[in-house]
Amino acid sequence: MGPDALPPWAGWPGLVLRRLAMGLLAVWVAASLGFVLVQAAPGGPAVALLGEHAAAGQLEEVTRAYGLDRPLAQQYLEWLGRLARGDLGVSYRAQAPVATLIAERAPVTLALMLPALVLASAAGIALGLVAADPRRRTRWVAGVLAGVHAVPSYAVAQVLVLVFALGLGWFPVQGLVDAHAPGGGVANLLEMAWRLTLPVLALAVLQCAFVALLARARIAEELRQPYIATARAKGLSEGAVRRRHALANAAPPLVTLIGWRFGAIVGGSVVIETLFALPGLGRLAVSSALARDIPTVAGIVVVACAVVVLVNTVVDLVAAVLDPRIARTAA
């Protein structure tokens, strides 16, 4: 084969298909996990749905209604089938379909996570650039970053609340909407954005430190390459060298790595939402888990996995745009 002849599974369509296939597999694993955990619950799946000390009559009723006495394989296939149709089951506690509960909360969580990701990435890359200076005087920045990224997110959040909400009074303490005056329209959106500032900051600070460390490593690595010396010899300023060459070349894998952080942000939002009383998916997961509302939590697992997979796919595609070699080689 000549150098330009590609195997059929390479190239752009191949990349997209590969990523999607992997994503579907991941979601299937998550869904199967959910099924297995409900079946494996101590006391049986009916107890998982209703709780430890439910009356015997109720347990029988639920067993009949959900077909829990049918063979496992059949139940599993039905579960997958329902998932494919978008039916995530019914929450007994809320007397509502899980998919509805999730759809109500998802926008809040996305409004929290996406800005946090963007903010963290931008600030992190900037910090990483600064810290990647091969000259010794910025080494301490790396030390600080290493320290910051190990602080638990709720500690950061609580400090932010203490200082900015209670201390300075610039931001509210809780909630997404002002209970006194629920307006509508654009003013409402602005209000919500203001109320989301502290939570987004809390989430972003940690992730920023992470991204900065990643960026620093990648950029420092690039700066060791021979072509940098060439660029410097050409007379480019240090800053231009770093930005135009090192960063540009570090970008594709960095973007992919940042995409992987999204999974961590999903986890971090759980604590932040609970602290700030935001009506998002993280808080729904926690309150459902505390009430032993298993179907809702299992549904959230599947949805969270799907979202993480989607973001990773998008990020991989962006990286491939930045570095076409990725599409050409088999990953």
Partner 1 sequence: MRPRALRDAVTGGRGATRRAPPWRAAALLVLVALLALWFVSGGDPSKRGMAAPFLPPGAGHPLGTDDLGRDLLLEVLRGLRTSLAVGVGVTTLALAVGIAVGLAAGLGPPLADELLMRAADIVASLPTLVIAILVAAVFGGSITALVLVLGLGRWPLVARLVRVEVGSLRGREFVLAARALGATPWRIGRVHVLPHALTPALSASGILFGGALVSEAALAFVGLGDPSVTSLGQLAANGFSFVAHAPWMWIAPVAAIVALTVPVAMLADRPPAPDSMA
Partner 2 sequence: MRWCRMLLLTLSAALAAGAGWAGDAPRPGGTAVIAVAADPGHLNPAISTAGPLHAVAGSIFNGLVALDRQGQPQPDLASSWQVAPDGRRVTFRLAEGVRWHDGTAFTSADVKFGFEELLFRFHARARAGLAPAVKAIETPDARTVVFVLHRPHPALLRQLDVSEAPILPRHLYAGSDPNRNPANLQPVGTGPFRFDSYRRDEQVVLVRNPAYFKPGLPRLERLVFRVLPNANTQVNALLAGEVDVLQRVSALDVQRLKGQPVSVVDTRSAAGGANCVMTLAFNLDRPRTAELRVRQAVVHAVDRARLLELVAFGQGRVASAPIASGIAWAHLPGALDTWRHDPALAARLLDDAGLARGADGTRATFDLLHFPAFARYAELLRQQLAPAGIVLRSRPLDAAAFVPAVFTQRDFDLALISYCQGADPEIGVRRMVHSSAVGPVPFSNAAGFRDAEVDRLFDQAGSTVDPAVRAEAYRSAQRRLAAQLPYAWLVETDFSAAWRDDLADFAPWSAQFAESAWRRR
* Coil/strand/helix, residue 7: coil
Helix 185-223, helix 153-160: angle, nearest 10: 130
Q: Count of residues binding partner 1 (CB under 8 A)?
A: 70
Sign of the alpha-carbon torsion through 137, 221, 267, 171 = positive
Alpha-carbon dihedral angle through residues 247, 249, 252, 256, given to the nearest 10 degrees: -60
Strand pairing class (96-97; 90-91): antiparallel
Backbone angles phi, psi at 231, to 5 degrees: -60, -40
Site string for partner 2, 44-73 (x = CB under 8 A): -------xxxxx------------------
Residue 270 binds to partner 1 (criterion: CB under 8 A)? yes
Can residue 15 be called a binding residue for partner 1 (CB under 8 A)? no
In the chain, the amino acid numbered 190 is: L
Rounded to the nearest whole angstrom, what is the least distance from the CB of residue 174 to partner 2 in the complex?
5
Cα–Cα distances (Å) from 314 to 79, 94, 241, 290, in that order, read 28, 34, 29, 34
Pick what 88 binds: partner 1, partner 2, none; C-beta below 5 to 8 Å, kind-dependent.
Answer: none
Residue 23 contact among partner 1, partner 2, none, beta carbon within 5 to 8 Å by kind: partner 1
298 binds partner 1 per the rule CB under 8 A? yes
- Residue 95 interacts with which of partner 1, partner 2, none, CB < 5 to 8 Å by class: partner 2
Q: According to CB under 8 A, which one of 10, 22, 41, 94 is a site residue for partner 2?
A: 94
CB of 147 to partner 1, least distance (A): 5
Segment 133-192, which members bind partner 1 (CB under 8 A)?
A: 139, 143, 146-147, 149-155, 158, 162
Q: Which is nearer to partner 1, 7 or 184 (CB)?
A: 7
Residue type, 172: P
